[in-house]
Amino acid sequence: MALNVGQSAPNFTLTDSSGEGRTLQELRGEGKLLLLFFPLAFSSVCTDEMCSTRDNMKFYEELNVRVAGISVDSFFTLKVFKEQNNINFPLLSDFNKEVSEAYGALYDTFFGMKGVSKRSAFLIDENGTVAYAEVLENAGDLPDFKAIQELLD
């Protein structure tokens, strides 16, 4: 079941692309956090989404919003993906699929693979509350970044 606006964001510790554990609180710091769940590194739509976010980081930084990407890929895969695409924000491995499930962002099956993250966006506010939630069923669709930006402005 997907999270709704107004709910507390589930806490987590996930491994980043450097092999280090990162918590929700650490990632959020004193500000807001945009969590972007994506199905699979190196797929075309996921690469486009992560690179577009990379190219718009100045917007988020000016508003004190941190960004993190989450997929079920191993942190080894995410390390190469991040390096090859010059991603300038943390990528987190939800290899065990627990966080994707807690956020209601997990496909039962995706092209025959069990347990792949649904493309989703969650904006977590300074208090750890979900301020924006969007879980997409169609992996070819992108989150409504315009609505997220309007909410932040």
DSSP at 129: B
CATH of 13-152, one of 3.40.30.10, 3.40.640.10, 3.40.50.300, 3.40.50.720: 3.40.30.10
Task: Give the pTM.
Answer: 0.95
**pLDDT tens, residue by residue, 17-38:** 999 999 999 999 889 999 999 9
Distance CA(151)–CA(123), nearest Å, equals 10
Q: How far is CA 30 from CA 34, 85, 123, in A?
A: 13, 28, 14
Q: How far is CA 80 from CA 18, 35, 106, 129, in A?
A: 10, 20, 23, 32
pLDDT interval class at 112 (50, 70, 90):
confident
C-alpha neighbours within 13 Å on the C-beta side of residue 101: 8
The predicted pLDDT at position 94 comes to 98
Active site residues: 46
The predicted pLDDT at position 1 comes to 67
Kindly state the average pLDDT of the residues 96-117. 92
Average pLDDT of the chain is 95
The residues that bridge with 123 in the sheet, in sequence order, are: 34, 132
Kindly state the average pLDDT of the residues 2-28. 95
**pLDDT tens, residue by residue, 36-61:** 999 999 999 999 999 999 999 999 99
pLDDT above 90: residue 2: no
The predicted pLDDT at position 110 comes to 85
- Residue written as token pair 């190469």: 80
Instruction: Please state, for a pLDDT cut of 70, what percent of the chain lies above it.
Output: 99
